[in-house]
Amino acid sequence: MRRPTNGMVSVAQNLERIHERINAALKRADRRDAVTLVVVTKTIAADRIAEACRCGVRHFGENRVQEFKEKRPLLALPSVHWHLVGHLQTNKARQAVELFDRVDSVDSVRLAEKLAHAVGGQGSKLPVLIQVHLGEEPSKHGVAPGEVEALVKQVAELETLQVEGLMTIPPFSDDPEETRPYFRQLRALAEQIERSRIPGVSMRELSMGMTNDFEVAIEEGATQVRLGTAIFGPRPAPREPKP
């Protein structure tokens, strides 16, 4: 294997380690199914994204429409699925539909309606996940657990969207064991909704777990983990807004 020469961590080596850790977590949980690795590429340059693609990554996530719009022309990657994993403003729904293959962060009927309208008569449905807000910290993003089922029912009515499951970003903790109850809660919520048998809805995807806690998330049933730092190393800190 080539060693990185520019001081950057090797994407190939990191991916290899991550796949080992994913497989070990699946084994611990006695799971026979697979986990989709969604490599989150915000702030990452196109050449390093292409490198991850050469290493076999087929699912990528970005959290901002504008950033991805600028990056996308630099990327000609075959058979790759782009997930929008960050908050989406309703006025960017149309652009999001043009740029992304899936939206993992739907958290309101209004947004779902805008997306459905933007998909229009394209023929294929847009796969979406419902983003759930767990924990006590106030947050503008994600629907409260008590409102998820009602939202799923409303989104299920929209013919051009396909609800495939739930997504969450739990409150951050250095200790993944503190995050475990949130992962458990998301899974229980998905199971509860599955039992309601809403026509056209499946709860097969649970997008949960990031660099700090993906192994615990897999033990609790994650089918998709979203990793950035674990693959590319630390991102530059977001710039402070000007005073």
Ligand X SMILES: *Cc1c(COP(=O)(O)O)cnc(C)c1O
* Chain positions contacting ligand X, by CB under 6 A: 40, 42, 63, 85-86, 169, 210-212, 226-230
Q: To the nearest whole angstrom, how small is the minimum distance from the Cβ of residue 214 to ligand X?
A: 8
233: left (phi over 0), alpha (psi -120 to 50) or beta: left
Cα separation, 203 vs 209, whole angstroms: 17
- Bridge partners, residue 62, by sequence: 84
Which residues, listed in sequence order, are joined to residue 162 by a DSSP beta bridge?
Answer: 127
Identify which of residues 61 and 221 has a Cβ nearer to ligand X in the complex.
61
> Between residues 114 and 226, which has the closer beta carbon with respect to ligand X?
226
Measured between alpha carbons, how far is 162 from 234 in angstroms, rounded to an integer? 34
Q: How far apart are CA 243 and CA 240, in angstroms?
A: 8
Q: In whole angstroms, how close is the CB of 168 to ligand X at the nearest point?
A: 9
* Residues 11, 28: Cα–Cα separation, whole Å: 26
**25 or 160: CB nearest ligand X:** 25
Closer residue to ligand X (CB): 160 or 215: 215
Q: How far is the CB of 118 from ligand X (least distance, A)?
A: 21
Pairing of strands 224-227, 36-40: parallel
Taking the least distance from each CB to ligand X, the nearer of 86 and 221 is 86
CB of 163 to ligand X, least distance (A): 18
Distance in Å, CB of 225 to ligand X, minimum = 8
